[in-house]
Amino acid sequence: MSVVRTIVAVDLGKDQDHAAIGAIERTHRELDVLRFLERPPLKTAYTILARRIIAVATNPLLGDDVDMVIDATGLGSPVVDVIREELFGEHTLAMSVDAAREVAQREKRRVLPRLVPIVIGSGLHPTVDALGYQHVPKSVLVSAMQVAVQNETIKAAEGLAHAKQLEGELRAFREKMTKAGNRQYAAEKERDHDDLVMMLIIGEWWSRRFPRPAPLDPDGLAENEAERLKSAFMARLQREKARANRDDRRQPHKVRARGLR
């Protein structure tokens, strides 16, 4: 399977929840593969978390096409600020995340990961603010994940760390109705964790926003290459034929010229 993009998705846990860092590979096929999963210790300092996220996203094994999709809701905002300062520079903090990345890439002369901060809220439709922060209703995030699970277009890599915990969180994740009639999406019991599943939900929502490139078809590529070579050969024959015709037209004039002398 050819990887077309890697999404480093991050859920920043609260006091009772771990943070979760995952790397999701998007392939040419309708399939996303959760290739890496990490759960930093509880109450890890924001600066340490930020540097760890950067280290994962800039790992050369992930390639150059990497998106860091990070939950910037509430206490997640300071972590995003640290990441922006570390990765793009303090002087870019007033810019949008995309503009800051462009400036930093020119200064550092290398490709940097995209930064996609997500603020989870209510409402019906996602919006983007002037700084490039994505404001997304939780119901929209969850819907993207439900589609991926139902269609079996997301899977965990063999031997993935914390895979069993993730599976348990997925089973325990529920839609609830509050007394006010509002929908909530969270672990079934308050003592249960949902950091891993929220990381996956964030990453899958971002992944599903982009059309996948057409898959590479070896048979089709071979057929196209054969057609190209055939066209080039025919064009060469036409040029040689035209050149021969021009030479034939010139030849009689040269003979007559020699005869006049």
Q: Poorest-confidence range of 141-150, 156-165, 223-232?
A: 223-232
47 C-beta neighbours (distance < 10 Å), count:
13
Give the start-to-end residue ranges of the domains of the chain: 3-207, 217-261
d(CA 161, CA 20): 12
Predicted model pTM: 0.75
- For 3-207, the fitting CATH number among 3.10.450.350, 1.10.3660.10, 3.40.50.720, 3.30.420.240 is 3.30.420.240
DSSP assignment letter at 192 = S
More confident residue, 70 or 232: 70
Taking only the tens place, the pLDDT of each residue in 105-138 is 999 999 999 999 999 988 889 999 999 999 999 8
Candidates 107, 140, 7; CA nearest to 62 is 7
Q: How far apart are the first and last CA of the chain?
A: 75
Q: Are 5 and 210 in contact (CB under 8 A)?
A: yes
d(CA 96, CA 72): 15
